[in-house]
Amino acid sequence: MHPAGNPHLTAALNLAAAGVPALPLREGKLPFGNCRTCAENACGGRPNMKRAGTCHCPSVCHAWAAATTDPSVITSPAWAAAWRQAAAVAYHPGGVALTVVDLDNADAIAWARATLPATRTVPTTRGEHWIYRGAMQSANAVRPGVDIKSRMAYARWLGPGTGTMTALPPAVLALVVKEETTPPPGQVVSSLPGRATWDRTVAIGCRHTEPYVRTGLDRGLALVRARTESGAASQAFGVARFLATQHAQCPGPCGLDALGWQIVAAAISVGVPETYAHRAVTNGLQTAESGAA
């Protein structure tokens, strides 16, 4: 497909020429759905995904994992229909060793200005992207209105922005709780209450309806709360795994972290130690048949 007259395609080719993996987004700033062969992840997934598969599908499949720097792929017949319908362009920040701190609103921007070192910023519809040098694990809703987009994620391309890009600071790394991190005994995960709600704004890549997600979550929380301390952690693991599997075929993000925090809170409420609850839920989310984050 010829780039002339298609600004999204032109932007993607410019990104690719600069070494930045790009992909088209459809209406609603969401990735295009997988093709029939890749539906339900039947193909096994792309080699660059979390669970490396063998898929070499030429279509714009597997959300962020479709991002490429290869102009012959970007202009291929298999991508042409997507470009005709494209409503935006995205890039894969982790693929070019960058992290985007996605600030969704004025409050989030105010928090960043008070807390994070200055770097390159790009205005978005209601907020800003703060872009740092260095890649990290992605996570949604690490604070109200704040997402981290780096590895296994896409960010909307809205131009180069302004300001000098600086190195990923510890303050941003600390926003994402790592699976293997166990706080010392007695230390409280003080950010927990602020993260404890799921809503549609943290699930922009979710294919399910809000009632579907809420019903699944409420049933899961009830199962955890019905247990005594001894059984609740394994129940929390099972609920987390079940909920994450519900979203395995969504392009993501589905706000799974926010769902996870609510399961952690339910487990704590019946006496499971906080670090144990967090580990059980994190492991459950990551054990799911996955794709979505």
Q: Which residues bind Zn ion (CB under 5 A)?
A: 35, 38, 43, 55, 57, 59, 61, 206, 247, 250, 254
Using only C-alpha atoms, what is the Rg of the chain? 19
> CA–CA separation, 79 vs 2, rounded Å?
12
Compare residues 131 and 221 and give the one whose CB is closer to Zn ion: 221
Minimum CB separation of residue 120 from Zn ion in Å reads 31
- Tell me, what amino acid is at 255? G
Minimal CA–CA distance to 246: which of 292, 199, 195? 292
Question: Residue 37, Cβ neighbours under 10 Å: how many?
Answer: 11
| Of residues 30 and 109, the one with the C-beta less far from Zn ion | 30
Shortest gap between Cβ of 29 and Zn ion (angstroms)? Answer: 15
Nearest residue (CB) to Zn ion, 60 versus 266: 60
State in angstroms the smallest separation of the CB of 135 from Zn ion. 23
3-state class (DSSP) for residue 23:
strand
Which CB, 141 or 206, lies closer to Zn ion?
206
- Using alpha carbons, list the distances in angstroms from residue 101 to 25, 195, 250, 274: 19, 16, 22, 27
Instruction: Please list the residues that pair with 162 across neighbouring strands.
Output: 121
Which residue in 293, 289, 244 sits closest to 63, CA to CA?
293
For the CB of residue 18, give the shortest distance to Zn ion in the complex, in Å.
26
CB nearer to Zn ion: pick between 38 and 67? 38
Q: To the nearest whole angstrom, how small is the minimum distance from the Cβ of residue 34 to Zn ion? A: 5
